[in-house]
Structure 1
Amino acid sequence: MKKALFLSVAFLFVIAVHAQVNIYSALTIPDSLKKDADIVIRDENIRLTVKDKNTAWYDVHQVMTIMNEQGKKFLFFIQYSDKFHALDEAEIKVYDMLGNKKNTYSKKEMTAQNYGEGLVPEGKVTYFDVTAPSYPITVEYTYSIKFKGILSLPGYDYHSPWQSVQHSVFEVEAPADLGVRYKLVNTELQPELIHSGSRDMLRWEVKNLNAYKLEKHSGSPFLYEPMVLIGPNKFQLDDYEGDMTSWKNFGNWINDLYAKTTGLPDEKKKFYQAMVRNASTDREKAQILYAYLQNNMRYVSIQLGIGGWRPFPASFVDEKKYGDCKALSNYLKSALDAVGIKSNLIIIYRDYEPRIVDEKFPMNDFNHVILCIPQQADTVWLECTSTTLPFSNLDITTLNRKGMLITDNGGILINTPVSNYQKNTEVIRTVIEVNGEGGAVVNTTSAITGEERDDLLMRFHDMKDDEKRKYFLTDRSWKQPDVLNITTADKTSNPYWLKASMEYDKVYSFNAGSKLFFEPRLYPIFDEDIPENNKRMRDYHFTCPYQVLDTTVYKFPAGYTLENLPKNRSVTRPFAQYTCTYTWDANAHTLISVALLQLKERVIKAADYDALYDFNKQVMADVNEKIVMKKE
């Protein structure tokens, strides 16, 4: 009955608006809202109704016009459901350019299937892909989601790049004695506060927002998109009640979840104590236990328990030899406890770009658990799901961000380590043996450390041979050979190395008569996307800072003489440096180039973008140089 009432109210509202202006016709969109817009939000009404600390409804009605192929992703409706969060009602209507209704799809016509990579399904996903015979096309989404447990509440992300907004409203209603908190991000849009008996409502409304462009490599949407974050004060998940008005209280809720999960059998405690008997320091002991975890336990995604928050007991992991991030971190914590080493869990958001974590606004925006051993000078950081990360190393997805450290007294915010270019190093040595016809046999070795190593291992090591060859030529941009063979180190090697042997029928780029033109290297040493933009608005984000030391050796047979040797080059900026030297040994018929590229900062300020563009331009000038040899 509740859902029928909701849908009726939504439709009545649409009829009322439709009487004033045809929000379904693309012809009625104001010209100002068409500029740079892939989609136009014609009308949007979102209502979050908090019933109590355990129940909430999220009702959405959206009418949007998709202007072109670039906005196609908004024709794909998808919602995930689990024990605490379920899609209740859903309907999609489709209109042509003139606003004529062409199709209606109910929830039962959508595809629903289980999802999850673990041993059991994590939930259900419902999706539907609207086909667009032409553009523009208008879709109308009406759906409702029920929350059973309000640990996390949806916010209001009302103005994304390439999107204009004709009209949008977001309302949050909650009991006055329970309330909710909000945080404004990249906006000063204040809500209207409405009191009605025992309930309060916050209401945001926007109109006629023009589309804006997204500059490449602008980082996380939390850095530029206007949005409103919503957080509960009191909440409940299953039988576990919590308070999120402080990080300390939130951490205490985590402590309650983990209570009675850390114990190991006495014989297993003795097993670990014997394992570290000869270690002289706590760091050595921790390293031994971490290696044991990596070699004997495996990561499996498991979303059972309290919405995926409570881990399986350490005794379960010990018996089954697997667990998810929570369970494996909790298990290693238990093993460390057994040998007298104090460690702490860290709840964190894992992805290439961090999320906002504000000291003054506690909220749950985390999806991962790691472990640390706090120390005065050199804290030990432990990613318990990885079989390849070196001891006390984190990777790109957990560095450079805040997390919540769980102490005996609750939660506190801490910073994970900051990326360091000197730790992210690739050393490349390439020998190119040119034959009399201009072909060559090439052997190259790359030794890689740090975040570069971890990222390569994650994407490359377990590929099939043909996939490795494709990756080597496309992602690493090596000149296409006629023959290519690749070998790699063991996963645990640090540095991690890969070797490639190649054969080229023609290794030079082009010729002019008897003159042959060779590239200084057979790949671009700096291959970043840095377009010209003298009005850059946002900071430029690299994946990580790094340095590359390349030595390329050309060995020529008799009959080749040097016509042109590129000039040595040095380019220095506060955030980056590039040097390259060229040496010709006439007696040995050998040319050696040594290049060092250092990208010292992960984030380049918008004010320095012109300097970054110029740096890239000068490096590319060297990359595009030619070694000219004359063949007798």
Structure 2
Amino acid sequence: MRLLLSGFTLTLALAGPLAATGGTAPKYAVADLAPALRENAHAVVRYQEETLLVKSVGRTVETTRRAVTILDEAGRRWAAELVYYSQLNSVSYFRGAVYDATGRQLRQLRSQDIQDISLSDGFSLASDGRGRVADLSQPTYPYTVEFEYEVVSDNPLFYSTWRPQPVEQLSVEQASFRVLMPTGMALRYQERQLPAGTAQARRTQGSQDVYEWQVRNLPAREQEPDGPAVGELTPSVYTAPAEFEVQGHAGRLSSWADLSRWTYELNAGRAELPPALVAGMQALVQGEPDERARIRKVYQYLQANTRYISVQLGLGGWQTFPASAVAANGYGDCKALTNYCQALLGAAGIKAHAALVRAGTDEQDIRTDFPSSQFNHVVLCVPLTQPARPDTVWLECTSQTDPFGYMGSFTGNRHALLLLPEGGHLVPTPRYGAAENRRERHADVFLDASGNATATLRTLRTGLEYDGVAGLPGLELSEQKKRVGNQLALPNFTLHKVAFQALPPGAPVPGLTETLALTLPGLAPPSGKRVFLTPNLLSRLPTLATSGGERQSEVRLDHAFTQLDTVQLHLPASLRPEQLPAPVQLKTPFGTYSSQLSTLPDGTLRYIRRLEMPRRRFAATEYPAYLEFRRKVAAADKAQLVLLKTDA
């Protein structure tokens, strides 16, 4: 599995083998850099050469050479390098050196400079990974680092991905990528965002077919607000095998069905449970007519009787422990726990399918048009048979606390690959849109004549809005107050009370109600005869920064949500409204917004705000209109209420 950890990558290179220290000619002098490559850049890739040598269906060798000039502190992450290894991947060598601005070598990488670390992330499908990390950072800028290493892999499910310019504010002087295949063995690849003239060149060299790509003089790019990651807009080449073999298990990979079938067959016959447990599952669901309720009972049993532990070694990254082992031990990795839950459901008469998924809160969806091994996790898909219309329950089997049937930001809103004996296909995991991702807040604010206030806030968060607060009820009160307080965008406050109440289990999506009691000194300090107060206390949408140039990328609104705020302002007798902000109504393709302040019969002022944003994409030409929508919302959110002192 290819890993990206902070600024460390597995796709780095340098300008030829490292020279010995002493008497070497200067290289990578910063003065030789073209001015265009320094513009908007924190670092410059001077030379990068990546080679994937496919020796057979069961072995590959990746060689990486790269040199990077680091211009300032913001580019410092490129001074460190991580090389991944595991039981199926070994590091042949790892070298490095660092040069000053003139190109004079300062020192070479020594063995004591290299740290060995674990790369277990606590959920991955095929990761028993470790890493070797080296850091050649210097106190004075600019300087240049170079690294060279080779990784031999007996897990050829993962071929190289070439991304010479993966992030913003990184320019590239020259970079190349070569793949050497045995003649007659097919290479599958997908090119994206290649500049003109960069399409692969193919030639035969002895008994090998050689594929090669090169780029030169790529200026640094900057991330645009609400735009795709720079790595999606810069050159890349994805490669994958047409056929492979992992520790004697051969497979093909020309379609999603191929990968599904291979993974299914690798794990077949491992779902047998002890007879007593089978009888227990049958008794657990006996007499329960509702299919979803039966699934819930089995899932609750799983959560109460198992825990996650990473035991993924070698082929075990793909092949599960038998369900009987999990029953005996009470633990397993994501494959083992999913297989175990599938077996428990089977004992209860419920059919379910394991499904591969790329998990992670910040992970993008897989490239659905390029069948390849892009997954790092496995979940369980349970098709329902009773409803009038087809429905599915999805289960995260590694968590003891996740709500039943909820995928959230970790595995929701993306594609998964069903594992079926005949070969599965991609299916969408649950989609969470604006209707599910809600934040509803009700605030009662009691203002005194001096502008101080007390307030009670009740906030319900559901769906993806719930994800960020799901773990709060399990923390100590002091930690709860600390975390909640850090999220309150108020200039001065004291938090007196924190309480949480979860939605009942039958809710369509999980939710949590948070109740807070606060004092707000100086919330609305008097200014002469008037008091100025912004009734929108906590839900102000910021404006977006405008750049001088023309928008280059599309607009991506990846998180749909609904915000509904009600603020009731209880005023003392000595204050009355002199001027209320005008109501605002906006309805655009980018979202809808409304805000209004009104006076209730008892003199209380009620402020109601609603903002709904879709999950949608727009052309770059629509960015000015999107900016205008954001500007109007931000202005309305900051609108002030003017109160007049009646006793002045």
Structure 2 unpaired stretches of 5+: 1-12
1:63 aligns with 2:64: no
Match of 1:584 among 599, 615, 623: 599
Asked whether 1:495 is paired with 2:511, we answer: yes
Distance in 2 (alpha carbons) for counterparts of 1:370 and 1:205: 39
Q: Distance in 2 between matches of 1:558 and 1:371?
A: 60
Q: Which residue of 2 aligns with 1:75?
A: 79
- 3-state secondary structure, aligned to 2:148: strand
Residue 48 of structure 1 pairs with residue 62 of structure 2: no
User: What is the alpha-carbon distance in structure 1 between the residues aligned to residue 456 and residue 400 of structure 2?
Assistant: 29
- Tell me the secondary structure at the aligned position of residue 407 of structure 1: coil
The aligned residue for residue 176 of structure 2 is 169
Q: Deviations over 1:17-50 (max 9, x none)?
A: x98xx64100001122222222111111211111
Q: Cα deviations across residues 583-615 of structure 1 (Å, max 9, x unaligned)?
A: 113x63311111111112254543332222222
Show the counterpart of 1:524: 539
Structure 1 residues 363-396: Cα deviation after superposition (integer angstroms, max 9, x where no partner): 1011011111235522222222334443333212
Instruction: Give the letter for the 1:596 counterpart.
Output: R
| 2:212 aligned with 1:197 | no
| 8 A Cα contact 2:14 2:66, kept in partner | no
Point out the more displaced range, 50-59 or 109-118. Answer: 109-118
1:511-558 per-position Cα deviation (integer Å, ceiling 9, x unaligned):
31131111213212435x632357322233445211011111111122
Deviation at 1:353, TM superposition (A): 4.6
- Per-residue CA deviation, residues 275-321 of structure 1 (Å, 9 max, x unaligned), is 11122132232122223323333333332352522222222222332
* Deviating more after overlay: 483-492 vs 147-156: 483-492
**In the TM superposition, what is the alpha-carbon distance from 1:199 to its structure 2 partner?**
1.6
| Counterpart mapping for 1:443-462 below 5 A | 443-457=456-470, 460-462=472-474
Report the residue type matching 2:467 in the other structure. D
Provide the C-alpha distance between the structure 2 equivalents of 1:219 and 1:470, rounded to a whole number of angstroms. Answer: 33
Which residue of structure 2 lines up, in the alignment, with residue 413 of structure 1? 426
TM-score (norm 2): 0.89
**Structure 2 counterparts to residues 1-12 of structure 1, below 5 A:** 10-11=16-17
Q: 1:211 to 1:504 in 2, by over 3 A?
A: closer
Taking structure 1 as reference, are residues 9 and 580 closer, same or farther at Cα in structure 2, changes over 3 Å only? closer
Aligned-residue offset at 1:219: 3.5
The one-letter code sitting in structure 2 at the alignment partner of 1:600 is: P
After superposition, the Cα gap between the structure-2 partners of 1:23 and 1:101, relative to the gap in structure 1 and judged at 3 Å, is closer
Contact 1:421/1:600, CA 8 A, preserved across alignment = yes
Instruction: Quote the residue 2:584 is aligned against.
Output: 569
2:163 equivalent to 1:157: yes
Q: Take 2:320 and 2:332, find their aligned partners in 1: how far apart are those partners?
A: 8
* Contact map agreement 1:483 1:504 (CA 8 A) in 2: no
The residue that corresponds to 2:99 in the other structure is 95
Q: Aligned partners of 1:220 and 1:341: how far apart in 2?
A: 41
* Aligned-partner Cα distance in 2 for 1:495–1:29: 54
Q: Does 1:618 align with 2:627?
A: no
Aligned CA distance change for structure 1 residues 358 and 330 (closer, same or farther; 3 Å): same
Corresponding residue for 2:330?
Answer: 321
**1:14, CA displacement in angstroms?**
12
From the superposition, tell whether residues 539 and 396 of structure 1 become closer, same or farther in structure 2 (CA, over 3 Å). Answer: farther
Q: In 1, Cα distance between the equivalents of 2:491 and 2:390? A: 46
Q: What amino acid does structure 2 have at the position aligned with 1:569?
A: V
TM-score, normalised relative to structure 1: 0.91
Quick one: structure 1 residues 626 and 103, their matched pair in 2 at CA, closer, same or farther if it must change by over 3 Å?
A: same
Counterparts of 1:9 and 1:446 in 2: how far apart (Å)? 57
Q: Which of 487, 510, 531 is the aligned partner of 1:475?
A: 487
2:607 corresponds to: 593
Letter of the structure 2 residue corresponding to residue 526 of structure 1: L
Secondary structure of the residue aligned to 1:379 is: strand
- Percentage identity across aligned positions? 26
Q: Which residue number in structure 2 is paired with residue 437 of structure 1?
A: 450
Deviations 1:133-169 (A, max 9, x none): 2221111111111212211122210123322222212
Structure 2 CA distance for aligned equivalents of residues 623 and 268 of structure 1: 58
- CA positional deviation for 1:465: 4.0
Specify which of 184, 189, 201 is matched with residue 182 of structure 1. Answer: 189
Distance 1:125 1:432, change over 3 A: same
Q: Is the 8 A contact 1:389 1:454 kept in 2?
A: no
How far does residue 336 in structure 1 lie from its aligned partner after superposition?
Answer: 1.5
Q: Render the CA deviation track for 1:77-136: whole Å, top value 9, x for unaligned.
A: 112221112222111111111111111113443112344366999343211222322221
- Over 3 Å counting, the alpha-carbon distance change for 1:221 and 1:9 in structure 2 is closer
Amino acid at match of 1:89: Y
User: Hey, what's the Cα distance between the residues in 1 that align with 2:243 and 2:553?
Assistant: 37
* Partner Cα separation in structure 2 for residue 12 and residue 216 of structure 1: 40
Instruction: Name the count of aligned residue pairs.
Output: 618
Helix, strand or coil at the partner of 1:397: helix
Deviation, 1:274, is 1.2
Q: Give the 5 Å matches for 1:348-387.
A: 348-355=357-364, 357-358=366-367, 360-375=369-384, 377-387=390-400
- Structure 1 gaps, min length 5: 1-6
Q: CA deviation at 1:478?
A: 3.8
